[in-house]
Amino acid sequence: MIDNTFPGKDITLDDLATKIPLAAKKTAEHKSVFEVAGVKFGGDVVPVFAGPNTVESEAQIVETAIAVRRRGAHFLRGGAFKPLTFPYRGPKYFELREEGLTYLSKAKREAGIPVITEVMEAKYISAVAEVADILQVGARNMQNYPFLEEVARSRKPVMLKRHYGASLRDWLGAAEYLLYHGTEKLILCERGVVAPHTHRAASRFLLDIQVVPAAQEVTHLPVAVDPSHASFWRPWVPPLALSAIAAGADAIMLEVHPKPEEAAVDPLQAIDFATFDALMRRMDAVARAVGRRVLDS
Ligand code: PEP
Ligand code: MN
């Protein structure tokens, strides 16, 4: 935070007072604490959202929901509506859309776990809100302001993913739209930014760990981290998840699949149940070292 009056990519004191008064902290200790479906955000426990990139079938999502719940996940994730990079759909790349929502709802009931899932268009907000406990606004919609207004009017809890090209100032501006138009429970999620050096030909983003303390310095909103989308590479997901917990992340989103190499979308980044199990314990150990925990017991 810089005490100047020049608008730009960094947040000024004037921004805090006049552009993001709802997202800005009121005091140094100000931190939002709220519950969604019995899960507390902003408290000592760091909630974990886990599940596949895409809802592929009833069996896949029910099996994953039960497996991640049993291993301590707090929320099931999985997209029924997907922002895929190319328009072609077929047996390899698909979205189940409304059918996927019915499978998510079955998985939620059978596993007894709340659901976070993406909504991409205003016309589907009410259908998605019937199964979702948290509406996910994806990176690509972060600055779709009319859409954010509609999402806020639903009054549902929201997780706002950071666009991979957005500054913290842009991201908090988008968060302010949601708060201004009626969202009361809002989580931010860092998911990797575009950078010239990403360390592997296939990796597109760099996890901005630094944004966790930077955001927490100016906003009271919980800050989640998604190391799966940030790294695009399975072996890097555990170390990045651990570093996010160490940096003070308030929630973690992880892609977990029964057979990661067969995942319909982003097969390189999902982890299997055994890796997830070990990672939950290691995240819990790191969280305890910084005064928090991941596992409820
Ligand atoms: C996702 O979480 O499924 C997703 C599409 O993420 P992002 O919007 O961060 O790309
Ligand atoms: Mn994805």
- With respect to residue 149, please indicate whether it lies within any of the assigned structural domains: yes
CATH of residue 166: 3.20.20.70
Q: Which ligand is nearest to the CA of 81?
A: 1
Nearest one of 148, 149, 156, 107 to 127, comparing CA atoms:
156
Q: Which residues line ligand 1 (CB under 6 A)?
A: 53, 79, 83, 118, 138-140, 161, 191, 229
Binned average pLDDT, 10 residues per bin, the chain of 297 residues? 58 94 96 98 98 98 98 98 93 93 98 98 98 98 98 98 97 98 98 94 93 97 98 97 98 98 93 98 98 92
Q: How many CB atoms lie within 10 A of CB 59?
A: 11
Per-residue pLDDT at 203: 86
Structural domain boundaries enclosing 139? 52-289
> What's the CA-to-centroid distance between 9 and ligand 2, angstroms?
27
- With respect to residue 2, please indicate whether it lies within any of the assigned structural domains: no
How many domains in the chain?
A: 1
- With respect to residue 17, please indicate whether it lies within any of the assigned structural domains: no
What is this structure's pTM?
0.97
Taking CA atoms only, the protein residue closest to ligand 1 atom 10 is 139
- With respect to residue 9, please indicate whether it lies within any of the assigned structural domains: no
Taking CA atoms only, the protein residue closest to ligand 1 atom 3 is 53
Q: What are phi and psi of 201, to 5 degrees?
A: -55, -35
| Closest ligand 1 atom to 192 CA | 9
- With respect to residue 113, please indicate whether it lies within any of the assigned structural domains: yes
CA gap 168, 161 in Å, rounded: 12
- With respect to residue 43, please indicate whether it lies within any of the assigned structural domains: no
Taking CA atoms only, the protein residue closest to ligand 1 atom 9 is 139
